[in-house]
Chains A and B, each alone.
Chain A
């Protein structure tokens, strides 16, 4: 009744295949963008940037990247943390070697370096599949973390082995470093998220995305109809790693500012991103965002409600948070095994027919 297609006529093929086919969806999207770009920057403070929005935006990029590889191309990867570390260390090395380079270019270059590394680790995927590939990428995870701990060149021979992001600015606002400006950091990440999500959406519904999905659904059949598995799998690995590398670079430079590879980019980070796409929805752009939102925002919200709202002891709150998040994950996966994005899709379909479903 309120949410409907009536009167929304498509006059060209172009209009018919657009991302938001319904006028109401399209408007909601524009409103969201307007709020995100024009309203939020005026209200954001350090807490909102550092504790809520930056981790959400940055891990959304990582989830998008992993969704390209796992959700669209069907190659399970447990190396996300390691690839994020590549992005972070590439970012650090480029930042410190070329102090005058614009931070946006640095982040994108860090993504490219990660894409190359991802290509190398993608080669085994041509021979091994499924769980065995997961184990091979797990090796990448441990190898990369070990490498960044072991070789002092990567952390510029500092005594502690930590990397620290020096201050860099764009248009006169500090994006990284101690005096970074919260709205500038937020807008920097938001711009990259919107750009990369738009690119991912269009990649996945074009020729490349279709060949990824063909390989995912049945690789032999795909090969028979003329999809080159080598090119397809490697392109998925490269593009996915590019996204994850950008996420790692942002995670280090804009969000945290100082990073210890074993802790920040350990196996936990890999699992976190994998859980995001499983809960959010494999093979869905929207799912990457919903998954990231669920696993980043809900814990912060629960903590604030329990500790600051109810005044509970911090350890009890932390334990209850584990139980609630675990319970919610199970609940959602039982209710809808295809993730929250599928729930969202079904809800919209039902709403289109409501209140006369026949």
Chain B
């Protein structure tokens, strides 16, 4: 047994250490198995397809090919750590783990190793404070923006007065789901609504008691911070208790096709937040069809193109590629290092022209990243599900969040982190 394991380890060692360093390496910590696979697959496909597109159409990023290393995490932190350790030695430029739990793991590790982490719309919200979190980015939006967007939306619906309304938060009982609570508590003080918390434990296949509680307490609005199978179950349960769908608002992770389709026509009118466009109308999708799908190089089964999460994966990849381009310009070299990639991310500017030139005009909000603001301006919109046509459509413009409430919270939380891990704040010019 002993010699067997040693032999096995030796074998594993040799196979893990074969990699070329010439390409721009983008690890994809994806999950195509487990209770969150239903959401993980479209995102991973979109992420992979965009890199394939860049290689096939443009011949790489300014001539340097990209290399995607996919590693299966099953949304599990232990496997996420293994994936991180296995890929970081291969020249990984940026990590996008699509898991708040894994992001929390990587924050200290990647910072120490000098590799940037981009947690787009997830992860630790206070990473927006670039003075404390030098290598962590969460542009263009974060959870606290999301909480504020949802509250702003119900403010709009009630012409600015939600005093005395009851708002319930149905959340995944983990770091991810707990993130918006602080902000919602502050906002409930500010706007005078009543706030109640309803946790759902992993993986969330059973939510009868939570929805019974909602039926009994009759909140006016329900917000949801769910992921994976939890989303489908919650929307189904809401339909079962005949909760009005237009008063049920999910975060951007609770608003894709796979979440609403199981409830069928009853999910009609369900709302979710978003920070990028939906559908396949933009020219970039023609390119994807031409260079990726028709060439037989689509990731996965190739049946996810244009879904909300596919587009989000694509958006994440696009931002990574643009940051790499910025880094190449800044440092005058084509083969960038993780440290240069970090500089590129910190100097990233997403303008309307830039997105237009990529065939993605209006795909996401315009924003700039800076040394002290790693989170962008926090613009978000609301999308609504139409069950008859089976499409999501944006029902509001990209609007800002309530920074009066959020910024002090971010300063407070990042200061706590800095104290806990003995970090000096960086100086930002």
Binding site for B on A (CB under 8 A): 32, 45-48, 50-52, 55, 96, 149, 158-162, 164, 166-167, 177-179, 256-260, 262-264, 266, 290, 293, 297-298, 300-301, 303-305, 307-309, 313-315, 317-319, 340, 344
List CB contacts (< 8 Å) of B1-53 with chain A.
1-2, 5, 8-9, 11-13, 15-16, 18, 30, 32-33, 37, 41
A2 shortest CB reach to chain B, Å: 14
B5 touches A263 (CB 8 A): no
CB atoms of B11 and A301 under 8 A apart? yes
A262 touches B85 (CB 8 A): no
* CB-defined A-B contacts under 8 Å, sample of 23: A47-B86, A51-B81, A52-B9, A149-B199, A160-B100, A160-B175, A161-B178, A177-B108, A178-B109, A256-B81, A257-B109, A260-B77, A263-B77, A297-B9, A305-B11, A309-B15, A314-B70, A314-B71, A315-B41, A318-B33, A318-B72, A319-B33, A340-B1
For residue A54, which residue of chain B has the nearest CB? B81
B89-111 to A contact mask, C-beta < 8 Å, 1/0:
10000000000110011011101
CB distance from B307 to the nearest CB of A (A): 17
Which B residues are CB-close (under 8 A) to A290? Answer: 1
Cα–Cα, bound, A313→B300 (Å): 9
Q: Rank and list the top 9 A-B pairs by shortest CB-CB distance, nearest first.
A: A178-B108, A315-B32, A160-B175, A314-B72, A178-B112, A51-B82, A47-B85, A304-B12, A308-B15
Q: Please, which residues of chain A bring their CB within 8 A of the CB of B125?
A: 159
Say yes or no: B16 contacts A47, CB within 8 Å.
yes
The one of B70, B126, B421 that contacts A166, using a Cβ cutoff of 8 Å = B421
The answer on a CB contact under 8 Å between B421 and A178 is: yes
Q: Is the CB of B32 within 8 A of A257?
A: no
Q: Is the CB of B33 within 8 A of A263?
A: no
B422 at the interface (CB under 8 A from A): yes
B421:A149 contact, CB within 8 angstroms: no
B345 interface hit (Cβ, 8 Å): no
Further 12 A-B residue pairs, CB within 8 A, beyond A51-B81, A52-B9, A96-B420: A32-B2, A47-B85, A50-B82, A159-B413, A258-B104, A260-B174, A262-B174, A263-B174, A297-B9, A313-B32, A315-B300, A318-B32
Taking the complex as formed, is B202 at the interface, i.e. its CB lies under 8 A from any CB of chain A? yes
CB-nearest residue of chain B to A308: B15
What residues of chain B lie closer than 8 Å to A319, measured between beta carbons?
33
- What string of 1s and 0s marks CB contacts (under 8 Å) between B124-135 and chain A? 111000000000
Chain A residue at smallest Cβ distance from B81: A50
Within 8 Å by CB of B175, from A178, A260, A314, A315, lies A260
Residues of B within 8 A of A259 (CB): 77
Q: Compute how far the CA of A96 lies from the CA of B420 in the bound complex, rounded to whole angstroms.
A: 9
Q: Does B76 contact A (CB under 8 A)?
A: yes
Q: Is B182 interfacial (CB-CB < 8 Å)?
A: yes
- Determine whether the beta carbon of B72 is less than 8 Å from that of A317: yes
**A257 contacts which chain B residues (CB < 8 A)?**
105, 108-109
Is residue B173 within 8 Å, beta carbon to beta carbon, of the partner chain?
yes
CB atoms of B89 and A47 under 8 A apart: yes
Could you say which residues of chain B place their CB within 8 Å of the CB of A263? 76-77, 101, 174, 202
Chain A interface, DSSP helix/strand/loop, else mixed: helix
Q: Are A262 and B179 in contact (CB under 8 A)?
A: no
Is B206 in the interface zone, CB < 8 Å from A?
no
Q: How far is the CA of A45 from the CA of B9 in the complex (A)?
A: 13
B201 within 8 A of A: yes
Known: A159-B178, A263-B77, A297-B8. A164 touches B420 (CB 8 A): yes
Partner of B108, one of A45, A164, A313: A164
Given contacts A159-B413, A161-B175, A314-B71, contact A256 B78 (CB under 8 A): yes
B416: CB under 8 A from chain A?
A: yes
- Cβ-defined partner of A256 (8 Å) among B9, B41, B89, B105: B105
| Interface residue B251 (Cβ < 8 Å from any Cβ of A) | no
> Does B141 touch A at the CB level, under 8 Å?
no
Q: Which residues of B contact A301 (CB under 8 A)?
A: 8-9, 11-12
When the two chains form their complex, are residues B174 and A315 in contact, meaning their CB atoms are under 8 A apart? no
Check A304–B16 contact: CB distance below 8 A.
Answer: yes
Q: Which residue of A lies closest to B412 (CB)?
A: A159
Establish whether residues B105 and A160, one from each chain, have CB atoms under 8 Å apart when the complex forms.
no
Residues of B within 8 A of A317 (CB): 72
B70, B88, B101: which has the most chain A beta carbons within 10 Å?
B101
B74 on the A face (CB < 8 A): yes
Q: Note all chain A residues with C-beta closer than 8 A to B78.
A: 55, 256, 264
- A308 vs B11: C-alpha distance when bound (angstroms): 11
**A261 vs B240: C-alpha distance when bound (angstroms):** 31
Residues A160 and B12 in contact, CB atoms below 8 Å apart: no
Q: What are the residues of chain A within 8 A of B182 when measuring CB–CB?
A: 159
CA distance A155 to B124 in the complex (A): 16
Q: Which of B88, B105, B199 contacts A258 (CB 8 A)?
A: B105
In Å, the complex CA distance between A30 and B251 comes to: 57
- Complex CA gap A304/B72 in Å reads 11
Q: How far is the CA of A52 from the CA of B89 in the complex (A)?
A: 16
Residues of A with C-beta under 8 A to B18: 308
Whole-angstrom CA separation of A242 from B417 in the bound complex: 31
With contacts A160-B124, A257-B108 taken as known, whether A149 is within 8 angstroms of B85 at the C-beta atoms is no
The answer for the CA separation of A138 and B375 in the assembled complex, in Å, is 42
| CA distance in complex: A51, B77 (Å) | 12
With a CB–CB cut-off of 8 A, which chain B residues contact A262? 173-174, 201-202
Contacting residues, chain A, for B76 (C-beta < 8 A):
263
A51 with B86, Cβ < 8 A, contacts A257-B105, A262-B201, A314-B32 known? yes
Q: Which of B74, B104, B173 contacts A149 (CB 8 A)?
A: B173
A135 to B375, CA, bound (A): 47
What chain B residues lie within 8 Å of A55 (beta carbons)? 78
| Structural contact, B33 and A167, CB atoms closer than 8 A | no
A29 to B: closest C-beta gap in Å:
10
**A32 proximity list for chain B (CB < 8 A):** 2
Q: What residues of chain A lie closer than 8 Å to B5, measured between beta carbons?
A: 293, 297
Inter-chain contact A293/B174, CB cutoff 8 Å: no
Q: How far is the CA of A48 from the CA of B89 in the complex (A)?
A: 12
- Residue of A with least CB distance to B9: A52
Interface centre among A160, A260, A308 (most CB of B within 10 A): A160
Q: Which residues of A contact B199 (CB under 8 A)?
A: 149
Q: Is the CB of A46 within 8 A of B85?
A: yes
Give Cα A303–Cα B76 distance, bound, in whole angstroms.
Answer: 15
Cα separation A303 to B8 with both chains bound (whole Å): 12
Across the interface, which residues of B come within 8 angstroms of A314, CB to CB?
30, 32, 70-72
Closest-CB distance, A235 to chain B (whole angstroms): 31
Instruction: Tell me, rounded to whole Å, the shortest Cβ–Cβ distance linking A248 to chain B.
Output: 14
Do the beta carbons of A167 and B421 come within 8 Å of each other? yes
* A203 to B90 CA separation, bound complex (whole angstroms): 46
**Bound Cα distance A45, B11 (Å):** 16
* Contact present for B1 and A300 (CB under 8 Å): no
Bound complex: CA of A304 vs CA of B37, how far in Å? 21
In the complex, the chain B residue whose C-beta lies closest to that of A266 is B202
In whole angstroms, what is the CA distance A160 to B13 when docked? 36
Query: Shortest CB–CB separation between residue A319 and chain B, in angstroms?
Result: 6
